[in-house]
Amino acid sequence: MVSLEGVVPDVLFLILLRASGMRELWGLIRASPRIYAIFRERRDAVLSAVITREIGIDIMDEARIALSTSRFDSRGLSKAQAIEWVAKYNSTQLNNSSLPEAPHGLEAMSLWRRHRDVKFIASLFLQEKLPILESMGLLGDKTLTIDRLSDVERMRIYRSIYQYAIYGDVFYFDPERKGASKGVIIGGYEQSHIFLTSILAWQVEELSTMNDFITDQIMKKWQEAEDDLYKSLQDDPTTWDVERKHDSRWETSFFSATNKASFSHWQHYFATLTIAELRDVFAGTGASLVKVIKKYAHRWGHAFLNEALEEEPLHATFYTSEYEAQEEARVGGVQVNFKRDAVELPNEAWLWAHKYQPCELYTTSSHDFAPGNGLRRFGYVFWDSHRLQRSQILQKGPQNTADYALANFPRPEYQTESVEERIRKLAQSFNPPEPWSSHLSNKLPFSPET
């Protein structure tokens, strides 16, 4: 490293202020006692600047709101509380015409601790999308990471995760909740009308894209845990002892063929975990993965974002004045021109998918938007115009593009056979099968299905 002996303190301070992120900042601090001394003197100013740059000033409001909802006295609100909270949320968003203030002191560090989990999910999202982006000509740089995305692309992804976290904190159902709202679950229809209608249509699609990813990742991790169990048993299936007691939800819910039909419900319900808890699930492997899934398997299932995204939005249900104005513009042939890539504006792929017609208002269920499932597969609402133009995707039809994405990169599906069925098949493949199979049938922890 170049000697810093002759560098004046003000220049060292500027070097710290301009660190691209917290990792670079820590590297600078560790590299030089002089820089560390400057950091100690100007700690609040440096952390404020670097953490603001790391999160993104344009989504600082969402980060702050997510931090505040994580501090609810009890996670999950009653219906009346949710309506009141969303009204305040909308008022805050409407009245914030200028950029948010940068965070300082304890607030900055609290935001950063929460952002680490958000960034982990964002990095995992991009990593999962890389093969799809490459196949569709969207990748460009094969070493693409979350930090190498444009500021706008990165903040779009971060915003979807922050809004996902906010959604969970507002609508999570806590069976231990006290008071008048005890035992009352806010259904998907009400969740949609209370929350989804309050945000812009392309932000709902960002949220839906992240929801697809998170539920897919949950499915993958469950399958990974089940495959690990199968692999541990396949060499010696007799280790499954029928006399063992089986009364935990973990084994009956995840390893029994009779409960496979409930996996889709539990998958969506697992998605109600906090971002920090989801990070534990997604980062887990082997025994640690089994441990963390067991830890959260007892949670109470209830309607969540997936159900809300299936509901017809309020505007279309009740034909609000805003809906009628948007429909009138569509019928009149009004075209919306793409302006620029900015966090507060829809990206060009969103406008392309809607034929450049007025589409700001959330009027069509995310699940009813025909090309949506395929387009969300490559995260179409997150990418900048230059990336989309380079791939020439915008010169193709949205439905054809969606069909290509799903045909070549289908969403993951769970193994239909349970572990005991797979082990039983393995045992029956032995030669001769009869004596071994007969012995094995008395060793399985679940009786053969009739």
pLDDT in tens, 54-107: 999 999 999 999 999 999 988 889 899 999 999 988 877 655 656 788 888 889
Separation of alpha carbons 133 and 205, rounded Å: 18
pLDDT digits (tens, 9 = 90+) for 359-406: 999 999 988 999 999 999 999 999 999 999 999 999 999 999 999 999
* Cα–Cα distance, 72 to 75 (Å, whole number): 6
* pLDDT on residue 163: 96
What's the full length of the chain, in residues? 450
Based on the domain organization, do 65 and 44 belong to the same domain?
no
pLDDT: which is higher, 206 or 87: 206
- Of 43-57, 116-130, 220-234, 291-305, where does mean pLDDT reach its minimum? 291-305
Asked if the model's pLDDT at residue 430 lies above 70, the reply is: no
What is the reported pLDDT for 303? 81
Domain span holding position 48: 9-53
Q: Please say if the pLDDT value at position 441 is more than 60.
A: no
Residue 419 within any structural domain of the chain = no
Q: Is residue 359 part of a domain?
A: yes
Cβ atoms of residues 423 and 237 within 8 Å: yes
DSSP string, 106-140: HHHHHHHHHHHHHHHHHHHHHHHHHHHHHHTT---
27-44 burial string, b = 16+ CB within 10 Å, else e? Answer: ebbeebeebeebbeebee
Q: Name the DSSP class of 255.
A: S
pLDDT band with cut points at 50, 70 and 90 for residue 332 = very high
Distance between CA 373 and CA 71 in Å, rounded?
34
Indicate whether 43 and 90 sit together in one domain: no
Domain co-membership, 23 together with 153: no
Determine, yes or no, domain membership for 15.
yes
Residues 290-301: tens digit of each pLDDT: 888 888 876 667
Q: Distances in Å between the alpha carbon of 62 and those of 77, 117, 155, 319?
A: 19, 15, 10, 29
114 and 231 both lie in a single domain: yes
Q: Is residue 387 part of a domain?
A: yes
Task: Give, as one character, the DSSP assignment of residue 409.
Answer: S
Domain co-membership, 47 together with 117: no
Q: Is 432 a domain residue?
A: no
Cα–Cα distances (Å) from 235 to 103, 225, 230, 242, 431, in that order, read 56, 17, 9, 18, 15
- Tell me whether residue 437 is in a domain: no
Does residue 244 lie in a domain region?
yes
Give the pLDDT band (50/70/90) at residue 435.
very low
CA angle (320, 324, 329) in 5-degree steps: 150
Provide the pLDDT confidence category of residue 183 given band limits of 50, 70 and 90. low
Q: Identify whether the C-beta of residue 375 lies closer than 8 Å to the C-beta of residue 138.
A: no
* 64 and 46 fall within a common domain: no
**pLDDT computed for residue 259 by the predictor:** 66
Domain boundary (373, 393, 408) is at 408
State the pLDDT at residue 173.
86
DSSP letter, residue 99: P
With cut-offs at 50, 70 and 90, classify the pLDDT of residue 245.
very low
> pTM for the full model?
0.89
- Alpha-helical runs (H) found in 96-248: 105-135, 151-171, 188-194, 201-234
Do 172 and 29 fall into the same domain? Answer: no
Percentage with pLDDT > 90 across the chain: 59
What confidence tier does 217 reach under pLDDT thresholds 50, 70, 90? very high
Tally of domains within the chain? 2
